[in-house]
Amino acid sequence: MERLNFNVLQQFWTIAKSYWSGDEKWQARGLLLGVVLCLLAYTGLSVVLNNKRGVLISALSAQDEPRFWQTVIVFIAVLVIYAPLLAGYTYLRALFLVGSPAILQLAQIGAIELPMTLDWLNHQQF
């Protein structure tokens, strides 16, 4: 097991401190709040989907047709909300990471590896 490199953490905080307390602090905090809210909603909907999956299987095994169709409708309704929420969460998270100079500098020195979506977002002009 590798030991935690405190020099990298110190470099990270030196760079990140300006992002969190500088000119873009409200944008950074807003993005972080958006990511946290999307993550909470995503987690809650995941729990609902898991529960409905269990009810669906129970309805099938009990051959309870009304309960089955009611659960299918709820399941589809949750999926209609779930899919865009997941896409929005992924986009906000990537935007948050691209906007953070500390994250980008750690990626440049090879301390962390960015997902492919961040590489694409990094080259876009907004």
- List pLDDT tens digits, range 49-73: 899 899 999 999 999 999 999 999 9
Which residue do the tokens 């990626």 mark? 107
pTM: 0.60
Q: Which of 31, 33, 52 is nearest to 41 (CA)?
A: 33
Q: What residues make up the domain containing 42?
A: 34-98
Q: Which two tokens stand for residue 68?
A: 């089955």
Mean pLDDT of 91-96: 77
Residue 1's pLDDT band (boundaries 50, 70, 90)? very low
pLDDT of amino acid 63? 92
Whether 24 is covered by a domain: the verdict is no
Whether 19 is covered by a domain: the verdict is no
Whether 88 is covered by a domain: the verdict is yes
Residue 98 contacts residue 118 (beta carbons within 8 Å): yes
CA distance 67 to 25: 50
CB neighbour list of residue 35: distance below 8 Å, 6 or more residues apart:
89, 92, 93, 96
CA distance 65 to 69: 6
Whether 16 is covered by a domain: the verdict is no
Question: Structural domain tally of the chain?
Answer: 1
Whether 125 is covered by a domain: the verdict is no
Whether 21 is covered by a domain: the verdict is no
Whether 66 is covered by a domain: the verdict is yes
Q: 22: phi > 0 → left, psi -120 to 50 → alpha, else beta; which?
A: beta
Mean pLDDT of the chain: 77
CA distance 97 to 28: 10
